[in-house]
């Protein structure tokens, strides 16, 4: 059986677009032997902007301030100098299948869009997730029904595991729809709790990153089927500001109704997420509210903003950010 994690790096304009796969098999592979492309049922396709895979701040400044021609000239003049890792680097390079003798991260496809948006290519690549530093392109991808998030670089980055991929998700407006947040914003916390209790057995609608959790789950189940649940190289977390006692049940029942599992569910009842994420040390964390993204980044977590739902409409104060 060939289990793989495929990363598609789709980049626009000043970025490079590439598709890489980390592929493994039961055979011993040497670094000179190129792994076979993964089968779709054994792969996750992730589109990653080069600006978040590598640190390209200097290049970005030239592109924005001086234009494409000077940008190209600078790139050619420095083409032999490697980039420093960016916030997505550890997420892309992590070894997913540590129970198999060997696997490699290699580049399959390369594409340059000459300044045009890459979003049109994502569906053709069957991308499960798109990560970029450009919030406009992220919004465009979400409008096309593609799981996407804007990635930020923390000033310090916490060391993360190289043998287990850890992915942390917020609940509402990330895995789930923003239904509950709309109730909270319009009617307050008491009405929110009342609504959740009344609809406890009604699953929430899906949010923009449900499909990505599903893709991770499919890979996890291959290990579960071999009795390797505790040794699975992928671990998922729900980190939500919901309260376990008053509104957590609906979130868990929703996941169960979708046939999805989450390895750990952490209900913080409005408390800051940064300290908990510092303990988890995920490779990546997704939240729809910048308050939590910034708090996570301050603690060294690579955090991504999902610009989806009511929290993105107008000015949202800090009290709203502590909502479910």
Following DSSP, what letter does each residue of 92-156 receive, concatenated? HHS-S-TTSS-EEEEEEEEE--TTS-SHHHHHHTT-SEEEES-HHHHHHHHHTT--EEEE---SS
Burial class from Cβ neighbours inside 10 Å (0-12, 13-18, 19+) for residue 172 reads buried
What is the C-alpha radius of gyration for the chain, rounded to an integer number of angstroms?
A: 20
Give the C-alpha separation, 266 to 105, whole Å. Answer: 32
For the chain, the distance separating the N- and C-terminal CA atoms, rounded to the nearest angstrom, is 41
Q: Measured in whole angstroms, how far is the alpha carbon of residue 66 from the centre of its chain?
A: 32
- The residue from 15, 134, 170, 172 that is catalytic is 170
Tell me whether residue 288 is one of the annotated catalytic residues: no
Give the C-alpha separation, 2 to 45, whole Å. Answer: 15
Residues 6+ apart with CB under 8 A from 118: 10, 11, 12, 17, 47, 111, 137
Question: Is residue 19 within a helix (H) or strand (E), and if so which, with residue range?
Answer: strand 17-24
Find where tokens 């991770």 sit.
216
Residues in the chain, total:
324
Give the pair of three-digit tokens for residue 289: 């509210």
β 234-240/165-169 pair status: parallel
Following DSSP, what letter does each residue of 240-291 receive, concatenated? ESS-IIIIIHHHHHHHHHTT---SEEEE-TT--SHHHHHHH--SEEEES-HH
Catalytic residues: 170
């Amino acid at each position: 059986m060939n289990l793989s994690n495929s990363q598609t790096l789709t980049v626009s304009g000043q970025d490079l677009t590439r598709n890489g796969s980390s592929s493994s098999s039961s055979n011993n592979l040497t670094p000179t032997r190129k792994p076979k492309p993964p089968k779709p049922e054994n792969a996750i396709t992730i589109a990653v902007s080069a600006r978040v895979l590598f640190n390209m701040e200097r290049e970005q400044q030239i592109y924005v301030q001086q234009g494409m021609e000077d940008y190209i000239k600078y790139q050619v003049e420095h083409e032999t100098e490697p980039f420093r890792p960016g916030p997505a680097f550890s997420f892309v390079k992590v070894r997913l299948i540590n129970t198999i003798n060997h696997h490699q991260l290699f580049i399959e496809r390369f594409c340059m869009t000459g300044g045009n948006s890459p979003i049109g290519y994502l569906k053709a690549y069957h991308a499960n997730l798109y990560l970029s530093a450009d919030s406009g392109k992220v919004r465009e991808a979400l409008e096309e029904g593609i799981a996407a998030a804007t990635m930020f670089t923390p000033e310090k980055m916490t060391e993360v595991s190289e043998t287990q991929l850890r992915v942390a998700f917020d609940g509402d407006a990330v895995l789930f729809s923003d239904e509950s947040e709309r109730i909270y914003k319009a009617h307050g916390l008491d009405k929110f709790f009342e609504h959740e209790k009344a609809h406890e057995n009604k699953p929430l609608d899906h949010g923009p990153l449900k499909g990505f959790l599903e893709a991770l789950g499919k890979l996890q189940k291959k290990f579960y089927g071999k009795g390797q649940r505790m040794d699975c190289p992928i671990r998922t977390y729900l980190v939500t500001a919901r309260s376990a006692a008053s509104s957590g049940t609906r979130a868990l029942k929703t996941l169960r109704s979708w046939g999805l599992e989450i390895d750990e569910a952490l209900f913080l009842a409005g408390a800051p997420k940064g300290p908990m994420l510092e303990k988890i040390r995920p490779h990546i964390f997704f939240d729809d509210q910048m308050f939590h993204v910034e708090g996570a980044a301050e603690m060294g977590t690579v955090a991504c903003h999902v610009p989806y739902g009511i929290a993105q409409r107008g000015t949202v104060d800090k009290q709203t950010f502590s909502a479910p």
